[in-house]
Amino acid sequence: MKQIIVDLLAKATKLKKEEIEKIIEIPPNSEMGDYAFPCYILSKELRKNPAEIAMELAREINKNKKSLKEISRVECKGPYLNFFIDKKMLAKQILAKATVSEFGSAKEKQKILVEHTSVNPNASPHVGRTRNSIIGDSIVRILKFRGNNIETHYYVNDVSKQIAMLALVFKPKDTFNSMLNNYISISKKLEKNPSLEKQIFQLLERFENKDKKTVDLFRKIVGICVQGQKQLFEELGIKFDKFDYESEYVGSFSKELLKKFEKTGKLFEDKEGRLVLNQSNTPVARKMKAPYFVLARSNGTGLYGLRDIAYTLDKMKKGKNIIVLGEDQKLYFEQIKEALKLLNSPYPEVVHYSFVLLQTDSGARKMSTRRGELVLLEEFLKESVKKAQEEIKKRKTKGDAKKIAIAAIKYAMLRNDNDKNIIFSWENSLNFEGDSGPYLQYSYARASSIIRKAEKSKLKSKSKSYDIPELTSQEINLIKKISEFPQTVEKAEKQLNPSIIANYSFQLSQSFNEFYHSCKVLGEDCEEFRIKLVNAFRTTIKNSLYLLGIEVMEEM
């Protein structure tokens, strides 16, 4: 539809199609038209009042469009040229497209590696950390839906002080659940008795030197933690294709990499004998006090930065890379990017997200373990399930409390722009009315209920053909919203931003509920048409929610 208008304007104005496409907008009010072309740009060139230009263009276009059924009329209002599309034509098109399950998908066929979620394998994640996984998973879903071949990776930081600490107190019967307590107790011991630090670093050194006993112990602990986290994420419907271990990048591998850096002439030894990359001629220089990237200790063993570079180099061999990181990693990742550029390697595209803050009486603040001001994912999930169960009980309906709870959590994490902090409050998070995950699921369940009843009664009479009736404004709004789905997915993909889908899903559901309220489906003359429209809504919202990782239910 939009393309038709672009073509018309291109003929009438001499502007390039791409230019016109950018300028065309949707009027604030549908009574003003379906698409609008503001004529300000032309006024400079033609040295005329934009309103006059609009009038001339309207005359010109009205001459040309006679053969087009899709455009019902063109008007000018002040400097705007407003296009009215034929709603019945649009309805016909959309009902044909949006009732097939692939609606909105594409066939891009690019091979992309996505890395997200790298929780320290030592503790239960809080909701802030979970934002990484939920955004990452949604991006994976969007890219797959667009037809790409995605491999999802999880980078396990198994070479860390935290694991060494756990190793110090590990007992054979320990489980994932006891790890957190172990970690807390050893942290406390360490605070009281700093001499333990030495033992911890010795253990880490033995691990890096591949002492078999130590390696086995680390492997065991990390195995338990990774398994536990994997289960937790699977509960949320988030899966990974591959777990990559930092420890695989220890040793001879790093020596070769250091040699490559040496050849660039940017590697030098600092006063303490460490191997340092000089980044003073790169963009990171002005962002740091000292633009140096420490890659190895004085004894020549690599540091985590070197391993990150090695790992990223490895991943880049597989094709395009996308990585989801917290805003705290911004500068660090730029350093890695500059290091990769130095070796003439391509680098990943990064999605950064801001943290979750906690709403307190004195305003929003960052979460703090010390003050006890934090929300664990498990706690959030538990409370949400409880709330969902209460709602189900109240309504005496069937429903999966867990699916509803997960929808609430995921939607809360995705509805904001990536680089905006999320302000978490229990009151808002446990409100399932309005702009919330359950509202979206509810709209689907309502639509499904109509379809169920329709199918039951249809056993008697089977009239499949239908005409498109005169449309109500609610029907038009719903049809228009549905028609926006493919371009919305495309935009979200381009910007790697799931919040675009989240916002769209809410608007779509709102349009449906307004339609539902004002247009009865069953038993009306236009029953067949409306059933088809309800079905178009169902596939669209289902696809849209799928991209957010939210499951729909026939009843709730």
List binders of RNA among 24-53 (CB under 7 A): 24-25, 27-29, 32-33, 36, 38, 40-41
DSSP label at residue 290: S
Count of residues for the chain? 556
Check binding of 190 to RNA (CB under 7 A).
no
Q: Is 421 in the site for RNA (CB under 7 A)?
A: yes
Choice from 420, 426, 457, 525 touching RNA (CB under 7 A): 420
According to CB under 7 A, which residues from 426 to 445 bind RNA?
A: 427-428, 431-436, 438-439, 442, 445
Rg of the chain over Cα atoms, rounded to whole angstroms, equals 29
Query: Alpha-carbon distance 213 to 222, whole Å?
Result: 14
Rounded to whole angstroms, what are the CA distances from 103 to 335, 543, 551? 41, 8, 17
> How many chain residues are in contact with RNA, going by CB under 7 A?
84
Residue 215 CB, shortest distance to RNA, in Å, is 29
In the numeric block, which tokens belong to residue 195?
Answer: 């001499």
β-pairing, 363-366 with 356-360? antiparallel
**Residues of the chain by 3-state class (helix, strand, coil), percent to 5:** 55, 15, 30
Task: Report the residue number, 91 or 150, with the smaller CB distance to RNA.
Answer: 91
What is the closest distance, in whole angstroms, from the C-beta atom of residue 136 to RNA in the complex? 18
Between CA 214 and CA 208 the distance in angstroms is 9
CB atoms within 10 A of CB 503: 18
344 vs 463, beta carbon nearer RNA:
463
Return the range that interacts with RNA (CB under 7 A); candidates 151-159, 181-189, 237-245, 503-511.
503-511
Kindly identify the residues of this chain, within the stretch 504-543, that bind RNA according to CB under 7 A: 506, 510, 513-514, 516-522
CA pair distance 344, 382, nearest whole angstrom: 48
One character per residue 207-246, x = contact with RNA (rule: CB under 7 A): ----------------------------------------
CA-CA distances (angstroms) from residue 432 to 235, 363, 470?
21, 23, 35
Q: In the window 282-311, what residues touch RNA (CB under 7 A)?
A: 286-290
3-class SS at 195?
coil
- C-alpha distance across the termini of the chain, in Å: 37
Q: Establish if 82 lies at the interface with RNA (CB under 7 A).
A: yes
The distance of closest approach from Cβ of residue 78 to RNA in the complex, given in angstroms and rounded to an integer, is 6
Min separation Cβ 281 and RNA, Å: 16
CB of 556 to RNA, least distance (A): 5
Q: What is the footprint of RNA within residues 462-501 (CB under 7 A)?
A: 499-500
User: Does 383 participate in binding RNA (rule CB under 7 A)?
Assistant: no
Site for RNA in 386-405 (CB under 7 A): 388, 391-392, 395, 397, 399, 404
For the segment 347-366, give every residue that binds RNA (CB under 7 A).
354-355, 357, 359, 364-366
Residue 199 beta carbon to RNA: minimum distance, rounded to whole angstroms: 26
Q: Measured from the CB atom, is 188 or 365 closer to RNA?
A: 365
Smallest separation, CB 452 to RNA (Å): 8
| Alpha helices (H) in 170-274, listed in sequence order | 176-192, 196-208, 212-235, 252-263
What are the beta bridge partners of residue 360?
Answer: 363
3-state secondary structure of 234: helix
d(CA 265, CA 282): 14
